[in-house]
Amino acid sequence: MIHLRVIAPFSHSKAAIDLLIESDSVANVTLIRGAAVDPEGDMITCDVASEDASYIVGDLRRMGIAELGAIDINELDASVSAGAVSAEEKAIGHPADAVIWENVSARIDNEGLLSGGMMALFAFAGVIAAIAILIDSSPIVVGAMALCPDFGPIAAFAVGAVRKDRRRARGGLLALLAGFMGAIAASFVAVTLLKAGGIAPENFTRDTNTLAQTIAAPDGFSVVVAFCAGAAGMLSVTLGKAGALVGVAVSITTIPAAADIGLSLSYGEWGAMEGAALQLAVNIASLLVAASLMLAFQRRNFKRRDARRREARAGG
């Protein structure tokens, strides 16, 4: 269930209350008259079935309440209420498949745009991945994948592309490119320092290093994996189920290649560097396309259902 707290100006309060009461997927509507001081108005709260939360919020926004008042959205861990159970039963779909689009936008704004913390995470992930390549350690490279924050910017780009928001799309792409440039630079510096300190070997061979051989040799399988990871990652973000495992699935196609570019530069392996660069470029493109297509598909379904709801209400 989703809990809404609405601050509605006095002129809009009755229309908002009527909307909520008439909606089968809404329960536990409360009204505190004159509770809001700045802006002035009434405070309305209610519980909404997750499947219909974005539709109800959209209806309230079309009334102008977002501009004149406020709409706060909170996910409930539990609601012990017969009315809430009835609202969920009447909503179309399954709660686990519900997309709260307002939460998606807020989450992406927090995690998808360039920041100092994001750059640091990219750099640390690049160093860890470079060491994993040096010692041919799959467990360590998985740690780098879990640390890498690359899907936030990918999701930001997808949202910007689908919603035709150039600022958000540019911001996501800039964060992604800057992050990987930082990872490449950090891996180059780290490997160079490790060589100077006698920790890393003076010469690096890929003949017996399975991880290094795989990263520097892009093929059709890489594209398929990146495409599936991009679509699955975007689906996880919209459903609010994104976590470390999703990050690993996405970063498996990116951070090892970025780290290998820095490592190859340090050792002067130009052929390997070109292979890793091609791997990174193809995988980033596949991730961006797949994430955008998945989001576009979900938004299309959302808009179609929203249009049907509004037509049914107008006809009723």
Amino acid at 72: D
Question: In this structure, are 133 and 275 located in the same domain?
Answer: yes
313 part of a folded domain: no
Question: Distances in Å between the alpha carbon of 255 and those of 25, 128, 145, 199, 260?
Answer: 44, 10, 7, 22, 8
Question: In this structure, are 84 and 229 located in the same domain?
Answer: no
* 142-147 CB contacts, 8 Å cutoff, 24+ apart: 142/248, 144/251, 144/255, 144/256, 144/259, 145/247, 145/248, 145/250, 145/251, 145/252, 145/255, 145/256, 146/244, 146/247, 146/248, 146/251, 147/121
Question: In this structure, are 89 and 120 located in the same domain?
Answer: no
Q: Which residues of 48-72 are buried (b: 16+ CB within 10 A; e: fewer)?
A: bbbbbbbbbbbbbeebebeeebebe
290 part of a folded domain: yes
Question: In this structure, are 183 and 258 located in the same domain?
Answer: yes
Residue 72 has phi, psi (to 5 degrees) of -105, 140
314 part of a folded domain: no
Residue 11: strand, helix, or coil: helix
Question: In this structure, are 114 and 229 located in the same domain?
Answer: yes
Question: In this structure, are 284 and 170 located in the same domain?
Answer: yes
Q: Which of 47, 66, 98 is the last residue of a domain?
A: 98
For 252, the domain range is: 104-302
Q: Which of 64, 98, 132 is the last residue of a domain?
A: 98
pTM of the model: 0.83
pLDDT tens, N- to C-terminus, the chain (316 residues) = 899 999 999 999 999 999 999 999 999 999 999 999 999 999 999 999 988 898 899 999 999 999 999 999 998 888 888 988 898 888 877 777 778 888 887 777 777 888 999 999 999 999 999 999 999 998 999 889 988 999 889 999 999 999 889 999 999 999 999 999 999 999 999 999 999 999 999 888 888 888 888 888 778 888 898 899 899 888 888 887 665 556 666 777 799 999 999 999 999 999 889 999 999 999 999 999 999 999 999 888 888 888 887 777 666 5
Question: In this structure, are 124 and 84 located in the same domain?
Answer: no
312 part of a folded domain: no
Amino acid at 51: E
